[in-house]
Structure 1
Amino acid sequence: MPEQTAFPHRRVGLVEDHESVAIGLSVMLKDEPDIELVCIATTVSEMLAQNVSLDLAILDLRLADGSSPKSNVEELRAAGLETLIFTGAENPFLVRSAARAGVLGVVRKSEPTAVVIDAIRAAASGRQVVTTEWAAAIDGDPGLDEVGLSPRQLEVLELYASGEKADRVARLTGLAPQTVNDYLQRIRQKYAAAGRPAPTKTDLYKRAVEDGVLPIPERRNLGRNLTLTNNDLQ
């Protein structure tokens, strides 16, 4: 009989804050001789603190700690770990944010078990995992045009769109109040030029959420967040 080709043994970790999903993935992988799920954590920092040797991090796109996909992927890559996103039906802006940070691919939680396992096996071996959903989120949506904000503009947007007044943003960033206002004007101009106008503070909040600058609010808090920004348009 011809000898069967064995896959190399790979060790993976999961960052996921829903227990049912973590249990489900554990069950999926328990009979795979070449893939070992060696750690589960609810945040990236918690997983890295376990200090275990891994070939791949499997990361949920949205976590309860409010972290952005981009910052999570960057933190994992800084620790020498490649990442596969394991997600439900999500905002394409967040998928694109993770993709820009350098993930190996995106696989949906709704995919058949065999598809999920194949994606994990490929990513754990360092191969790209290209799916239709990922390609569509990155390339197919005309509303995904980047606005090209500088790091300083992103800092101002994050603070202002989260509810801070312009003078408070100035104090937090060490910028002059007029400079903050100039940044905000330029940010609005860039969004308008990209076909994603943001004339009000509420609009800036929405754009910041879309682009992964701010986390998507929990459903129960959504109305409160929008009320805050509507009451603070100056």
Structure 2
Amino acid sequence: MDEPVTIAVIDDQDVVLSGVRTWVAEDPDRRVEIVHTAADLDGVREGPAARADVLVVDLRIAGELVFDRIAELAAAGRRIVVFSQHAEPEIVHRAEQAGALAYISKETGEGRRHLIEAVLTVAGGETYTTPSQAGAMLAATGERRPRFSEQELRTMRLWLGGLTRAGVARQLGISEHTVKQYLGRAREKYARAGREAPTRVDLYREARRDGIIGD
């Protein structure tokens, strides 16, 4: 039998933590194991949480939306499932652009139906699309927002955050040529969406507009 996928669950509502524990326990194949729970993100860089395959994170912690923290963790290579009461398309989109590989709404009962499969898919480095995400994508169609791969997002965040291409390459463990390719693809996707971004300043403006990087 394969080892279970390990998760750290970050949520300040006991009822949510209880629900996640129940869904994990009800999985007949025991494919997921909870190794850490907490009400905030302060401890995710150490102990069992640092080694967890996937982070399941509430989008609002201590009353604040944590897009920036999600972006930091995603840029560091953490795989993230957002589990949130928010279902507004613009919020879902910002979480995706911050680096979440799946977005599950608490309000629609998606957790029971999708959390385990989302965790398993995200653990493999792939995105998992829930009905909330599908609805957000349809709503955003008229806004012409491109979709980026996880590596494209990481590259843009690091480069637009001030690193050189060589610095980004070292941080991600890839070649400088690959960094250039990722940035080129990002610009091409924006161009196809009618949002030209030929310079670093232009790309920064569009990425900030889409919530890929913070203000």
TM-score of Structure 1 vs Structure 2, range by shorter chain: 0.5 to 0.7
Whether the 8 Å contact between 2:12 and 2:39 is mirrored in structure 1 is yes
CA RMSD of aligned residues (A): 3.2
Counterpart of 1:85 (choices 75, 82, 85) is 82
Q: State the SS of the aligned residue for 1:46.
A: coil
Are 2:7 and 1:9 equivalent residues in the alignment? Answer: no
Code of the residue aligned with 1:11 in structure 2: it is T
Deviations 1:26-59 (A, max 9, x none): 1211244221110012222233244531111111
Amino acid at match of 2:61: L
Structure 2 counterpart of 1:57, which letter?
L
Contact 1:68/1:212 (8 A) holds in 2: no
Quick check: 2:98–2:213 contact (8 Å CA) kept in 1?
no
Aligned to 2:190: none
User: Amino acid of the residue matched to residue 14 of structure 1?
Assistant: V
**Per-residue deviation, 1:7:** 5.0
> 1:88–1:108: 8 Å Cα contact kept in structure 2?
yes
- Identify if the C-alpha distance between structure 1 residues 114 and 7 changes in structure 2 by more than 3 Å, giving closer, same or farther: farther
State the Cα distance separating 1:113 from its structure 2 match: 2.1
Residue of structure 2 equivalent to 1:46: 43
Q: Give 1:79 deviation, angstroms.
A: 3.6
Partner of 1:59: 57
Within 2, Cα distance between the matches of 1:19 and 1:213? Answer: 31
Q: Tell me, in whole angstroms, the C-alpha distance in 1 between the residues paired with 2:10 and 2:61.
A: 9
Match of 2:133 in 1: 134
Query: Residue type matched to 1:52 in 2?
Result: A
Name which one, 1 or 2, has greater alpha-carbon Rg. 1
Q: Show structure 2 runs of 5+ residues with no match.
A: 146-156, 158-209
Which deviations, in whole Å up to 9, do the C-alpha atoms of 1:54-86 show, x marking residues without a partner?
1111111222251432x1221222442110111
Please say if residues 61 and 95 of structure 1, whose CA atoms lie closer than 8 Å, have aligned partners that are also in contact. no
Aligned counterparts, 1:136-155, within 5 A = 136-141=135-140
Distance 2:20 2:128 in 1: 18
Instruction: Count the aligned residue pairs.
Output: 148
Structure 1 ranges of 4+ moved more than 4 A = 142-146, 210-214
The structural deviation recorded for 1:105 is: 1.3
2:89 is matched by which residue type in structure 1? P
Q: Contact 2:104–2:111 at 8 Å: present in 1 too?
A: no
Kept in 2, the 8 Å contact 1:94–1:212? The answer is: no
AA paired with 2:32? I
What's the CA shift string for 1:155-192, capped at 9, x where partnerless?
xxxxxxxxxxxxxxxxxxxxxxxxxxxxxxxxxxxxxx
State the match for 1:118 in structure 2: 117
In 2, are the aligned partners of 1:62 and 1:68 still within 8 Å (CA)? Answer: yes
Instruction: Work out the percentage of aligned pairs sharing the same amino acid.
Output: 23
